[in-house]
């Protein structure tokens, strides 16, 4: 776009030109328009949100996680984003830097991280907030005790004489393991085939209501 002061100067010249000089004037205007040509604007089509390490989808309470927004296409003109979360009681995020901080663990309710562009596009990512533990404490369920050992990657159940079955679910509710445990005083369940994540263990017991427990691998 030709600046206003340049237009003013050219208008004065045009007013004083004779008819024979108008062609030269218009040629000069065309040359100026080329000098002030507006570059093409490449609109945003999509925003992809991930953690800086794309294999990570969780943050520990009190810890931080760097979020990244990839604006597509790669040559989009406006690549700036503003960061936000859907629930700051779970995690907070710096609106400019995208640094996410875990606030409170919600096993079944992850926080939604949002990157919004002024063009009206937004991208989201789901991040789980974990307690600052790697194992669950021993839990008394009618003399049955359950804990997870990260050192040997096993679930340990002792005094499990009343436990009939142990079911392990991932965070989406999918049954990952189903182990029978009739009349066993203790039980060790290897979890080395499970990927890292949050899991729910349900112990079914004779004449006792089943209960569930969380562990983080």
CA distance 46 to 132: 34
**pLDDT given for residue 91 in this prediction:** 95
Whether 40 maps to a domain, the answer reads no
Shared-domain flag, residues 155 and 194: yes
CA distance 173 to 191: 17
Does the pLDDT at position 169 exceed 70?
A: yes
Shared-domain flag, residues 82 and 19: no
**pLDDT given for residue 146 in this prediction:** 74
CA distance 85 to 205: 40
Q: Binning pLDDT at 50, 70 and 90, where does residue 154 land?
A: confident
**pLDDT given for residue 134 in this prediction:** 47
Are 198 and 171 in contact, with CB atoms under 8 Å apart? yes
Shared-domain flag, residues 67 and 118: yes
Average pLDDT, the chain: 76
- Average pLDDT in the 78-106 region? 92
Shared-domain flag, residues 107 and 179: no
Percent residues over pLDDT 90 in the chain: 24
Query: Which of 47-51, 76-80, 136-140, 181-185 has the lowest average pLDDT?
Result: 136-140
Does the pLDDT at position 84 exceed 50?
A: yes
CATH number where 185 lies: 2.60.40.3080
Of 73, 70, 77, 66, which Cα lies nearest the Cα of 118? Answer: 77
Reported as a single tens digit per residue, the pLDDT across 188-202 is: 889 999 998 888 888
Shared-domain flag, residues 50 and 126: yes
CATH number where 52 lies: 2.60.40.60
Task: Report the predicted TM-score, pTM, of the whole model to 2 decimal places.
Answer: 0.48
Shared-domain flag, residues 123 and 180: no
**pLDDT given for residue 135 in this prediction:** 43
Helix (H, G, I), strand (E, B) or coil at 102: strand
Of 26, 38, 36, 27, which Cα lies nearest the Cα of 6? Answer: 36
Range of the domain at 96: 46-130
């Amino acid at each position: 776009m030709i600046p206003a002061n340049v237009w003013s100067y050219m208008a004065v010249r045009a007013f004083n030109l004779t008819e024979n000089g108008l062609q030269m004037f218009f040629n000069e205007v065309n040359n100026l328009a080329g000098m002030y040509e507006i570059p093409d604007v490449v609109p945003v089509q999509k925003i992809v949100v991930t953690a800086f390490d794309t294999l990570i989808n969780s943050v520990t309470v009190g810890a931080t996680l760097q979020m990244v927004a990839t604006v597509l296409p790669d040559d989009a003109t406006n690549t700036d984003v503003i960061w936000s979360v859907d629930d700051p009681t779970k995690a907070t995020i710096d609106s400019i830097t995208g640094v996410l901080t875990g606030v409170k663990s919600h096993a079944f309710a992850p926080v939604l991280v949002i990157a919004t562009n002024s063009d009206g596009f937004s991208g989201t990512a789901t991040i789980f907030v974990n307690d600052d533990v790697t194992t669950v404490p021993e839990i008394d369920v009618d003399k049955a005790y359950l804990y997870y050992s990260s050192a040997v990657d096993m679930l340990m159940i002792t005094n499990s004489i009343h436990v009939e079955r142990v079911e392990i679910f991932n965070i989406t509710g999918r049954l990952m393991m189903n182990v029978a445990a009739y009349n066993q005083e203790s039980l060790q369940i290897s979890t080395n085939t499970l990927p890292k994540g949050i899991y729910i263990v349900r112990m079914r017991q004779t004449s006792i209501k089943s209960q569930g427990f969380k562990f983080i691998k």
